[in-house]
Amino acid sequence: MSRQPQDAGARPQGDAALATIAPPGFTLARDRFGRLLVRLPDGTTHVGAVAVRAFPISAPGESVSLLDSEGHELVWIARLADLPEATRVVLEEELARREFMPEIRAIASVSGFVTPCTWEVATDRGPTRFVLPGEEAIRRLSPSALLIADSHGIHYLLRDIAALDRNSRKLLDRFL
């Protein structure tokens, strides 16, 4: 297809900004308050920057963006793996502090099959319990992955149904 020339035209400001701040072009640090400091190649320093994954579920290892405190983008990182080791560690630390989406590893029990019901689950962040407000709170992301929102709006990720043990699958099946 003759798509190339238009694509170039389709991302004007974004492109210009991106070119100057290719991954190694910035430095990350943490100030004494624990805030993230981003120093851009143009010399400006932004305090209180926020790191966000663009695709936290479908591609967590790619596409991280650093936003300033106003929510404007400072740096776009296409792949975390391309960063220098030191920067990457800071960044991953920051992401881990901000993001809270426990991954369900097993379902121990559910209080009933009529919603709302309480689930006891084992997650990658330890065992917990939450209240499932309704069946529609379980969303299918792909044939094998589910995103479950509890009554407080916390999202639990279930990456692979097939990887669950037999009992968990049986319990889950009653809700799907």
Partner 1 sequence: MTAVAATPPTPDASLPAPWHGEVEDRLETGEAPLAWVELDLDERLRFAPGLLVLTPRRLLAVAAGGESWHSWALDPGQALELSDHGGVGALELRDADARIAGWRFTLGQHAAAQRLVDRFERLGVRGAPADAVSVATCPQCHALLPAPGAPCPHCMRQATEAEAAGESEEPASTWTLLRLWRFAHPYRRRLLAGFLLTLASTAATLVPPYMTMPLMDDVLIPFQNGKPIDPALVAAYLGGLLGAALLAWVLGWARTYILALVSERLGADLRTATYEHLLGLSLEYFGGKRTGDLMARIGSETDRLNLFLSLHLLDFATDVLMIAMTAAILVSIDPWLAVVTLLPLPFIAWLIHLVRDRLRHGFEKADRIWSEVTNVLADTIPGIRVVKAFAQESREAARFRAANEHNLAVNDRVNRVWSLFSPSVTLATEVGLLVVWAFGIWQVSRSSITVGVLTAFLAYIGRFYTRLDSMSRIVSHTQKAAAGAKRIFDILDHVSSVPEPAQPVHLPRVDGRIELRNVGFRYGNRAVIRGIDLDIAPGEMIGLVGHSGSGKSTLVNLICRFYDVSEGSILVDGVDVRSLSNAEYRRHIGLVLQEPFLFFGTIAENIAYGKPGASREEIVAAARAAHAHEFILRLPHGYDSLVGERGQALSGGERQRISIARALLIDPRILILDEATSAVDTATEKEIQKALDNLVQGRTTIAIAHRLSTLRKAHRLVVLDRGQVVEVGPHDELMACEGAYYRLYQAQQRRAEADRLEEGAGGRGAEVETGRAAIAPAIAGGAKQA
Residues lying near partner 1 in the complex (CB under 8 A)? 2-3, 6-7, 9-14, 52-59, 62-63, 65, 67, 71-73, 76, 78, 136, 139, 141, 147, 155
- Dihedral angle, C-alpha 39, 43, 44, 48, nearest 10 °: 10
Cβ pair 161, 144 in contact under 8 A: yes
**Between 56 and 117, whose beta carbon lies closer to partner 1?**
56
**Between 9 and 112, whose beta carbon lies closer to partner 1?**
9
Task: Please report how close the Cβ of residue 162 comes to partner 1 at its closest, in angstroms.
Answer: 21
**Between 4 and 173, whose beta carbon lies closer to partner 1?**
4
Cβ pair 161, 170 in contact under 8 A: no
CA distance 176 to 172: 7
Task: Please report how close the Cβ of residue 14 comes to partner 1 at its closest, in angstroms.
Answer: 4
Non-local CB neighbours of 2 within 8 Å, separated by 6+ positions: none
Task: Please report how close the Cβ of residue 37 comes to partner 1 at its closest, in angstroms.
Answer: 19
Q: In residues, how long is the chain?
A: 176
77: number of Cβ within 10 Å: 23
**Between 76 and 118, whose beta carbon lies closer to partner 1?**
76
Task: Please report how close the Cβ of residue 147 comes to partner 1 at its closest, in angstroms.
Answer: 8
